[in-house]
Chain A
């Protein structure tokens, strides 16, 4: 089976990094049990580098995993699409992982496909597992407009994950100063206001009572499996307030009151920090529309404080090493709701 160019470069880069001992682990993707469902892979030996793959289904955000390596001093390499890169920038900005310990392998991302949507668009029977998807997984070069599956033309946009339709950051932020580009940077993306906030606007248009019912109905479905929090790359606290067994701020009973407390607390914690990777919604087994809540907050922040911007790369620092320059910029960045000032207004009356 032919290997696409990005995969080839990824494997070669990983092999070199591991062989030379520059990194202890390369975090990327490998094929999983079902086609169209690659899984996160942790490659520690150069001879395993050929397990790595890159294809149009590599949607999971890998940035979360760097938090597992906080203790230690070795370097790790991470394959980073735009949203992985944005999340890494947040994690560095939150001083939860030093940029110097990261080797960022950047990939321009044209948007990732969802196996289920692709299967539906191609009229494949039940679920996403049809072997035909294997062809797409292997052959769909990043950037391809579409492909043929099950004898039908499938456009890329029909199979795109919803968070990718809204994407404004197909490439890692410049401030991250990636170490290696595995592909060309992807062209800029400019989703329409309706694509970005159409569902948020629909909720805003509801009466308070209607909106209350909408969220009560949603939160009452929550199983409290914590997948949304655990998959979230910007949920980077060493110890989560929701896990505090001593205080039990969040009680263990699963009911509307506790569930609401959980979700609203988390929403405020990720407000202005959410990178829009959509992993929370994708992981949720009961389909909670969590990104609508987070995007509502992002939208408000954008209206009140202007667009969320990554700090610019630190000019002149490149000579001292890209990583140091990037670290300096990101660690000094001030993002809304991530810094507290004593003179912040608190007029809540």
Chain B
């Protein structure tokens, strides 16, 4: 039976900061106004109340630029020296169910018979602590793509914010105005894996047993959050309809607006296309893996100059068919977790929800 624990925000903060003595702890935080999962360090505020970070959790496993090896030519011989960073045990704290699902999807891509060893090593070394999401943005639609915002089955440990009234009054030595804002927040905590269980056991100094009614209070909140998201999409039959629409005029119409930049692909937690490139100076250089984007003109540019996706139409079609059709055929799930980052970030308001609506026969205007 699941054991439930309760922790308040100051204790959780103390626990996480204590952990940084011996390992890396990644938390949602802002640096220069950019929200991302950053290594916790003195002076960095944990974004307890912030929105889902702009940059998704994928970067912790699949960094934008990932060095593979150095090469150097010496006396006619080519020396190759691996430079893969040492992977150490770490905690990724505060991912939401959407990003947790994205990792399950990326696992399919970077696992299997042709596993990406660096990705696998980073995944294996990382304990996932997920937050039940009580901060949906108006652009969120995770429930439409089958993600439950209140739980992340992929995580080792779950944190869920307790509703105010279920927190027993605690004797505090500090007057309310002396407390940090949010310090009264309490979280229901439970493990979902053996590894998560061991982690909680190591944090018993900070955790208290959940009291009568607290689990029920959370479950009630969670039930209330079902279908709480403002953006609702009907995904029924989208994949099959797309099978028939490779030559649809829709792609041309949508692509007229697309700028061909890479924002949607870079902020997408499931976009995983990459390139392998060299940085070379004279007789030496570095080979690295780096994010690429199907929106870019040179993504499919061949050495001879031929480009099988010569215009924005083919590129945009590839992006959406990959997410909604090819990925489903290959891995059995749509490659979209409904986080809404692309909806919020596209400079010309073109995103996957519009494609889904059009495929479903939705009206052009007011989609």
List residues of A whose CB falls within 8 A of some B CB.
30-34, 37, 39-42, 51, 60, 64-65, 68, 126-127, 129, 217-218, 221, 223-227, 229-231, 243, 245, 248, 251-255, 279, 282-283, 285-287
The answer to whether B34 and A287 touch across the interface, beta carbons within 8 angstroms, is yes
Count the B residues whose beta carbon is within 8 Å of the partner chain — how many?
Answer: 49
The answer to whether B256 and A227 touch across the interface, beta carbons within 8 angstroms, is no
The answer to whether A253 and B345 touch across the interface, beta carbons within 8 angstroms, is no
Interface-central residue, B31, B64, B137, B349, by most chain A CB under 10 Å: B349
> Does B43 interact with chain A (Cβ within 8 Å)?
no
Set A30, A129, A221: member contacting B34, Cβ < 8 A: A221
Could you tell me the distance between the alpha carbons of A161 and B354 in the complex, rounded to whole angstroms?
A: 26
Please give, as numbers and ranges, the residues of chain B lying within 8 Å of A225 by CB-CB distance.
261-263, 265-266, 293
Please give, as numbers and ranges, the residues of chain B lying within 8 Å of A285 by CB-CB distance.
54, 263, 266-267, 345
> Does B367 interact with chain A (Cβ within 8 Å)?
yes
- Given the known inter-chain contacts A254-B290, A282-B347, A287-B32, please indicate yes or no for A31 contacting B366, CB distance below 8 A: yes
The answer to whether A253 and B347 touch across the interface, beta carbons within 8 angstroms, is no
Interface residues of B in 8-67 (CB under 8 A from A): 31-34, 54-55, 64-65
Interface-central residue, B256, B296, B301, B364, by most chain A CB under 10 Å: B256
> Does B253 interact with chain A (Cβ within 8 Å)?
yes
For B252, give the chain A residue with the smallest CB separation.
A42
20 contacts between A and B (CB under 8 A): A33-B367, A41-B257, A42-B253, A126-B137, A127-B137, A217-B32, A218-B32, A221-B32, A223-B64, A223-B263, A224-B262, A225-B265, A226-B262, A227-B262, A230-B261, A231-B259, A231-B261, A252-B277, A283-B259, A287-B34
> Does B279 interact with chain A (Cβ within 8 Å)?
yes
For A251, give the chain B residue with the smallest CB separation.
B279
CB distance from A33 to the nearest CB of B (A): 6
The answer to whether B349 and A231 touch across the interface, beta carbons within 8 angstroms, is no
For A257, give the chain B residue with the smallest CB separation.
B279
The answer to whether B253 and A286 touch across the interface, beta carbons within 8 angstroms, is no
For B366, give the chain A residue with the smallest CB separation.
A31
For A280, give the chain B residue with the smallest CB separation.
B347
- Given the known inter-chain contacts A39-B350, A252-B275, please indicate yes or no for A31 contacting B257, CB distance below 8 A: no
Set A33, A279, A287: member contacting B353, Cβ < 8 A: A33
Please give, as numbers and ranges, the residues of chain A lying within 8 Å of B312 by CB-CB distance.
68
The answer to whether B34 and A253 touch across the interface, beta carbons within 8 angstroms, is no
Please give, as numbers and ranges, the residues of chain B lying within 8 Å of A282 by CB-CB distance.
347
The answer to whether B364 and A51 touch across the interface, beta carbons within 8 angstroms, is yes
For A69, give the chain B residue with the smallest CB separation.
B256
The answer to whether B277 and A42 touch across the interface, beta carbons within 8 angstroms, is no
What 7 pairs across the A-B complex have the smallest Cβ distances?
A227-B261, A283-B347, A225-B262, A129-B138, A39-B349, A252-B277, A230-B261
The answer to whether B32 and A127 touch across the interface, beta carbons within 8 angstroms, is no
Please give, as numbers and ranges, the residues of chain B lying within 8 Å of A243 by CB-CB distance.
296-298
Q: What string of 1s and 0s marks CB contacts (under 8 Å) between B343-361 and chain A?
A: 1010111100110000000
Set A223, A230, A251, A287: member contacting B259, Cβ < 8 A: A230
Please give, as numbers and ranges, the residues of chain A lying within 8 Å of B1 by CB-CB distance.
none
The answer to whether A253 and B257 touch across the interface, beta carbons within 8 angstroms, is no
For A227, give the chain B residue with the smallest CB separation.
B261
> Does B288 interact with chain A (Cβ within 8 Å)?
yes
The answer to whether A253 and B65 touch across the interface, beta carbons within 8 angstroms, is yes
Please give, as numbers and ranges, the residues of chain B lying within 8 Å of A251 by CB-CB distance.
277, 279
Could you tell me the distance between the alpha carbons of A230 and B260 in the complex, rounded to whole angstroms?
A: 7
CB distance from A328 to the nearest CB of B (A): 30
Could you tell me the distance between the alpha carbons of A285 and B345 in the complex, rounded to whole angstroms?
A: 7
> Does B175 interact with chain A (Cβ within 8 Å)?
no
Could you tell me the distance between the alpha carbons of A253 and B83 in the complex, rounded to whole angstroms?
A: 15
The answer to whether A51 and B279 touch across the interface, beta carbons within 8 angstroms, is no
Could you tell me the distance between the alpha carbons of A332 and B331 in the complex, rounded to whole angstroms?
A: 58
Number of A-B contacts (CB under 8 A): 112
Please give, as numbers and ranges, the residues of chain B lying within 8 Å of A227 by CB-CB distance.
259, 261-263, 347
Could you tell me the distance between the alpha carbons of A248 and B267 in the complex, rounded to whole angstroms?
A: 24
Please give, as numbers and ranges, the residues of chain A lying within 8 Å of B253 by CB-CB distance.
42
The answer to whether A287 and B33 touch across the interface, beta carbons within 8 angstroms, is yes
Set B32, B257, B290, B348: member contacting A252, Cβ < 8 A: B290
Set A60, A221, A255: member contacting B65, Cβ < 8 A: A255
Could you tell me the distance between the alpha carbons of A287 and B34 in the complex, rounded to whole angstroms?
A: 8
Could you tell me the distance between the alpha carbons of A227 and B260 in the complex, rounded to whole angstroms?
A: 8
Given contacts A221-B31, A243-B296, 4 further A-B contacts (CB under 8 A): A217-B32, A225-B266, A227-B261, A251-B279
> Does B169 interact with chain A (Cβ within 8 Å)?
no
Could you tell me the distance between the alpha carbons of A34 and B230 in the complex, rounded to whole angstroms?
A: 11
Could you tell me the distance between the alpha carbons of A224 and B261 in the complex, rounded to whole angstroms?
A: 9
Please give, as numbers and ranges, the residues of chain A lying within 8 Å of B353 by CB-CB distance.
33
Could you tell me the distance between the alpha carbons of A230 and B295 in the complex, rounded to whole angstroms?
A: 11
Could you tell me the distance between the alpha carbons of A251 and B65 in the complex, rounded to whole angstroms?
A: 11
> Does B365 interact with chain A (Cβ within 8 Å)?
yes
Please give, as numbers and ranges, the residues of chain B lying within 8 Å of A224 by CB-CB distance.
262
Could you tell me the distance between the alpha carbons of A282 and B346 in the complex, rounded to whole angstroms?
A: 11
CB distance from A149 to the nearest CB of B (A): 17
The answer to whether A231 and B347 touch across the interface, beta carbons within 8 angstroms, is yes
Interface-central residue, A30, A127, A226, A287, by most chain B CB under 10 Å: A226
CB distance from B343 to the nearest CB of A (A): 8
Interface-central residue, A31, A32, A42, by most chain B CB under 10 Å: A32
The answer to whether A39 and B364 touch across the interface, beta carbons within 8 angstroms, is no
CB distance from B86 to the nearest CB of A (A): 20
Could you tell me the distance between the alpha carbons of A37 and B267 in the complex, rounded to whole angstroms?
A: 20
CB distance from A24 to the nearest CB of B (A): 12
The answer to whether B259 and A253 touch across the interface, beta carbons within 8 angstroms, is no
CB distance from A84 to the nearest CB of B (A): 14
Could you tell me the distance between the alpha carbons of A51 and B139 in the complex, rounded to whole angstroms?
A: 23
Please give, as numbers and ranges, the residues of chain B lying within 8 Å of A287 by CB-CB distance.
32-34
The answer to whether B296 and A226 touch across the interface, beta carbons within 8 angstroms, is yes
Please give, as numbers and ranges, the residues of chain A lying within 8 Å of B262 by CB-CB distance.
223-227
Q: What string of 1s and 0s marks CB contacts (under 8 Å) between B273-316 and chain A?
A: 00101010000001010111100111001000000000010000
Interface-central residue, B31, B257, B286, B298, by most chain A CB under 10 Å: B257
The answer to whether A40 and B257 touch across the interface, beta carbons within 8 angstroms, is yes
Interface residues of B in 207-238 (CB under 8 A from A): 230
CB distance from B338 to the nearest CB of A (A): 15
CB distance from A126 to the nearest CB of B (A): 7
Could you tell me the distance between the alpha carbons of A322 and B147 in the complex, rounded to whole angstroms?
A: 58
Interface-central residue, B33, B279, B354, by most chain A CB under 10 Å: B279
